[in-house]
Amino acid sequence: MRVAVTGGGGFLGSHLCEALLRRGDSVVCLDNFSTGDPENIAPLLAHPAFEFQQADVSVSVQVAGRVDAVAHLASPASPPDYLRHPLETLAVGSRGTENALRLALRHNARFILASTSEIYGDPLLHPQEETYWGNVNSIGPRSVYDEAKRYAEAVSAAYRRTHGVDVGIARIFNTYGPRMRPHDGRVVSSFITQALTGEPQTRSFCYVDDLVRGLVALLDSSELGPFNLGNPVERTVSELAGIVLEMTGSTSEVKHHPLPVDDPVRRRPVITRAREVLGWEPEIDITEGLRRTVAYFAAHADRLAASAASIRGGQDETVPLAAATSASLKPQTIPGPAGAATGVASSAPGATVAGG
């Protein structure tokens, strides 16, 4: 099977590309690295079944040759990213999703959408089933991501009803693991970065390998969903902080900060539908997942130091743009299979986001 993966240079996208190649598929990865990282896919470039295409999916999605499936993951996924790039986030969720759907329509291909638990907003129902319509502030600061994904789900379902596109929707809950950026503002990456650099510390968590297995199961099916993909084991943020501190041997202080605007107090997926229809459920527990993630972060100590300042105080989501992006603005290079190189400026102001 030949699969086009938008946002394939991001955290989740690169793991999905790798999993597809490992099982024998061909992959066309599309990204502009505004929130992805060329290093995520650098080991894949020499693979004969892997192709990379630098592309802004909000403008167009063009893939030559056969396409059997489209996995649409292009979007920022962490609050600092979508709060810094609100219009680009809305664009990739709307125009980007439509462009990816048109690609699937042209090739009569399976299409899966990486949606989000943010669909549920600050939920009044706990835990969350897919039948819950959510509690979303449509004009709040987080609405640029929430509503972009809600629109993406709506237009995907409309393409299925109107054009018969074989659509599947995954609602992804908190996911962590290697290749997360230390400065991306998510709970796990922030805690590990702060613990390993001695910074003060101030929900369900699913390890990336488990999440990718769920996406592949959805890709291989003909089900619409939506399907909640996440770990139904709920943990407090304080508990997570304690595990990270113990695992890293850190003496960082745990501090408590007010929740950002519209940030949900509790969130936990009901995954009965995924278990029964896709035969999927998480397998890796939090201790093992964090052990692998801490090891990855510790092996990238150069990034940790540069990222510590950008996440300091970031719990209120008001870190200035210059401080928050300083670690990721340097030009990045993708080595070609024969020594060629492609320069990419990552996270440049005004760049349209892709990846995550």
**CA dist., res. 247 & res. 328, Å (int):** 27
Q: Tell me, yes or no, if 207 is annotated catalytic.
A: no
Alpha helices in the chain (DSSP H): 11-22, 38-41, 79-84, 86-91, 97-107, 143-163, 187-197, 208-220, 237-248, 272-273, 286-298, 301-311, 321-325
**CA dist., res. 190 & res. 177, Å (int):** 12
Measured N-to-C along each axis, helices 187-197 and 301-311 cross at an angle, to the nearest 10 degrees, of 110
Q: Regarding beta strands 331-335 and 341-345, do their DSSP bridges make them parallel or antiparallel, or are they unpaired?
A: antiparallel
| Nearby residues of 106 by Cβ (< 8 Å), 6 or more positions away | 67
Instruction: Select from 169, 177, 170, 240 the least CA-distant residue to 204.
Output: 240
Instruction: Choose the catalytic residue: 82, 120, 132, 145.
Output: 145
- Are the beta carbons of 67 and 107 closer than 8 angstroms? yes
| Nearby residues of 192 by Cβ (< 8 Å), 6 or more positions away | 182, 244, 248, 290, 293, 294, 297
Which sequence positions are flagged as catalytic? 145
